Structure 1
Amino acid sequence: MSLLRVSGLSRSFGGLKAVDDVSFDLEAGQLLALLGPNGAGKSTCFNMVNGQLRPSAGSIVFDGHELVGRRPRDIWRLGVGRTFQIAATFNSMTVLENVQMALVSRERKLFGLWKAASSWFADEALHLLEQVGMADDAHRACGVLAYGDVKRVELAIALANRPKLLLMDEPTAGMAPGERSDLMALTRRLATDHQIGVLFTEHSMDVVFASADRMIVLARGKLIAEGDADTIRNDAHVQEVYFGTGKTFQPRASLAGNGPAAGAPR
């Protein structure tokens, strides 16, 4: 049974179909890249899985739970973590305190006047920072860290909820090439060690081809291709969307045929 199974997912904004009948699945321990040019529907698809947008149609089943209709906080509590394109940390707080706050939220703890907030889950927070290589910086303010290190802290925060599924939106945006490779290698190790399914969007193709087990490609809201690196790299429809005019593509249902799908835009 797949960890995540998305079936017939659609979302319309007025007359615009931002996501149109998209289906895919994700296994535990697997990295799945969600690709497509600007306006392809990646963010809309991501936000529906996370509960920030409600689908117009379709089903999202995670670990046996239907996610459609649930609030983002409830989805988070089921074991779905998320990182963002722009890292979200509290700059004035230390690295350790940022992770502690995530652990406090997970346990639904309220601070008591008789116990200092800095004592909550300190050991567990430090262990998470060790996993992402940031333990030595535990007592530094997040605001003074290099951006690549902030992204590692954000990953530790996401891991605080012990996720089974991790959604990563442009995880390497704004990072140097070496930092990008290091972060995705770390993500791979954590996904394998903890059997976490990872769904991520990414514009850097070198990162995608080096990191993803499988890829799915959207164009104008439709799924046009899926497969491993070689399959996607050699797919004529993907090449046209990324490098051609972007005006002609075949929806996935027609990929087995030789001609364009009926009604496909030109």
Structure 2
Amino acid sequence: MTPPLLQVEHLSKAYGGVHAVRDVSFSLEAGELLAMIGPNGAGKSTCFNMLNGQIWPDSGSVRIAGRDTAGLTPREVWRLGVGRTFQITATFPSMTVRENVQLALLSHEGRLWRLFGYAAADMRGEAERLCALVGMDRALDRPCAELAYGDLKRLELAVALANAPKLLLMDEPTAGMAPADRVAMMRVAAEIAAEQRIGILFTEHDMDVVFEHASRIIVLDRGRIIAAGSPAAIRDDPAVKATYLGEGLTFSAAEATHA
């Protein structure tokens, strides 16, 4: 029997007397978009950081394609086929869109020394393919310092795809973007997940984005999972409404349609 792409079991992390994550368990399959939502301080970022090796759990386990990642560094986890985007974009402002993606590709190939040789031509075609995939093919030669924030988010997605990931962790992928850009960004991510069978775990505060694109949703509160299931089940869950969404919540047309 093939193991899940991502298997998290009884994951816990505390800082002194504060339990950031408590006994969290869930799984993710290839091609699935799993949303992790919850109020500020719910433990989402701590959970993400344990999944890609930035911090180690106090207890529990993380398995990626059946392999236990305990003790692995972020770069070692990355080499297992895990990509990540962050709440705040991190690109090289003076480099062009194409060069930023080329740099990620060269790093994945273990050929960063090429930066001092023929890097201008190396991996150029693959960099352009990834840029086109996220809708950045018309900005290949623009320095990142000139880009709007939404375009920086798209570029960061292209960079995250440079290691041909099986699993993609997207931390607030639409934060700071205009509403139309949010929709476009998650539509691109969903299409890539379906076409390339990439499992995506994402955190998000925009409920339109969550309910329109997530295959399943898990809800954290004070480090614990308080609900998990389909968008329809989460929408109607009384604990979710009381704890996170608010009793007076009204859902948008997009959320209602998806449910």
Is residue 163 of structure 2 the alignment partner of residue 161 of structure 1?
A: yes
Alignment correspondent of 1:152 = 154
Q: CA deviation at 1:114?
A: 8.0
Alignment correspondent of 1:13 = 15
Q: CA deviation at 1:111?
A: 2.7
C-alpha spacing 1:85/1:110, structure 2 compared with 1 (3 Å): closer
C-alpha spacing 1:113/1:16, structure 2 compared with 1 (3 Å): closer
SS in 2 for 1:139: coil
Q: Which amino acid aligns with 1:239?
A: K
TM-score, normalised on structure 1? 0.89
Q: Which amino acid aligns with 2:201?
A: L
Alignment correspondent of 1:180 = 182
* Kept in 1: contact 2:103–2:112 (CA 8 A): no
Q: Which amino acid aligns with 2:181?
A: E
Q: CA deviation at 1:115?
A: 3.1
Alignment correspondent of 2:251 = none
Q: CA deviation at 1:69?
A: 1.2
SS in 1 for 2:108: helix
- In structure 1, runs of 5+ residues without a counterpart are 246-266
Q: CA deviation at 1:16?
A: 1.4
C-alpha spacing 1:121/1:8, structure 2 compared with 1 (3 Å): same
Deviations 1:5-39 (A, max 9, x none): 00000001111111110100000000000111011
Q: CA deviation at 1:116?
A: 2.6
TM-score, normalised on structure 2? 0.92
* Kept in 1: contact 2:173–2:204 (CA 8 A): yes
Is residue 144 of structure 2 the alignment partner of residue 132 of structure 1?
A: no
Is residue 122 of structure 2 the alignment partner of residue 120 of structure 1?
A: yes
SS in 2 for 1:117: coil
Q: Which amino acid aligns with 2:180?
A: G
Alignment correspondent of 1:232 = 234
From 61, 74, 89, give the equivalent of 1:59.
Answer: 61
Alignment correspondent of 1:30 = 32
Q: Which amino acid aligns with 1:75?
A: V
Alignment correspondent of 1:93 = 95
SS in 1 for 2:120: helix
Q: Which amino acid aligns with 1:197?
A: G
Structure 1 Cα separation of the partners of residues 25 and 244 of structure 2: 21
C-alpha spacing 1:140/1:237, structure 2 compared with 1 (3 Å): same
Q: Which amino acid aligns with 1:206?
A: D
CA RMSD between the two structures: 1.4
SS in 2 for 1:47: helix
C-alpha spacing 1:87/1:110, structure 2 compared with 1 (3 Å): closer
User: Which deviates more, 212-221 or 145-154?
Assistant: 145-154
- In structure 2, runs of 5+ residues without a counterpart are 248-259
Is residue 108 of structure 2 the alignment partner of residue 106 of structure 1?
A: yes
C-alpha spacing 1:84/1:114, structure 2 compared with 1 (3 Å): closer
Give the paired residue count. 245
Q: Which amino acid aligns with 2:197?
A: Q
Q: Which amino acid aligns with 2:68?
A: E
* Kept in 1: contact 2:83–2:168 (CA 8 A): yes
Q: Which amino acid aligns with 2:128?
A: L
Q: Which amino acid aligns with 1:172?
A: T
Is residue 202 of structure 2 the alignment partner of residue 200 of structure 1?
A: yes
